[in-house]
Amino acid sequence: MNARAAVAFVVSSQRTRETAYLVVSLPADQAQPADLQQWARLEWHIENRLHRVRDETFREDAHQARTDNGPAVAAVLRNTAIGYHRSNGEPNIARATRRANHRPHDLIDAVTRNYPTTQ
């Protein structure tokens, strides 16, 4: 079943309309508009919370790693950095990343301080 959702936006006194097409695997009688709206919002929440940060803050689309494991390793490092900053309560990942870039020893200390040394 395909579902069509229309959303109206007001941007600087101009009204715009966006139509999104959703593909769901439910029968029509089970895909209620309120459920479709909730699912679409959840998907955009994920997009805005993770993918947009990866694209804008870490410029993932401009990254040059294209072969072998390079793209996967770079993605893991980006996700780890985002998770680290979020676990520390940082609401702005770009600001936290800039701060961390100026103090790399703080990150090393934070990662290694909880691990016991082996002898």
- How confident is the model at residue 57, as a pLDDT? 85
Q: Residue 32 is encoded by which pair of tokens? A: 């209620």
Residue 61 has pLDDT above 70, yes or no: yes
Q: Which two tokens stand for residue 99?
A: 């701060």
- Could you tell me if 38 and 70 are in contact, meaning their C-beta atoms sit under 8 angstroms apart? no
pLDDT band of residue 66 (cuts 50, 70, 90) is: confident
Number of Cβ within 10 Å of residue 78's Cβ equals: 20
Strand, helix or coil for residue 57: coil
Per-residue pLDDT tens for 87-118?
889 888 889 989 988 888 877 787 777 656 66
113 vs 70, residue with greater confidence: 70
- Residue 98 tokens read as 């800039």
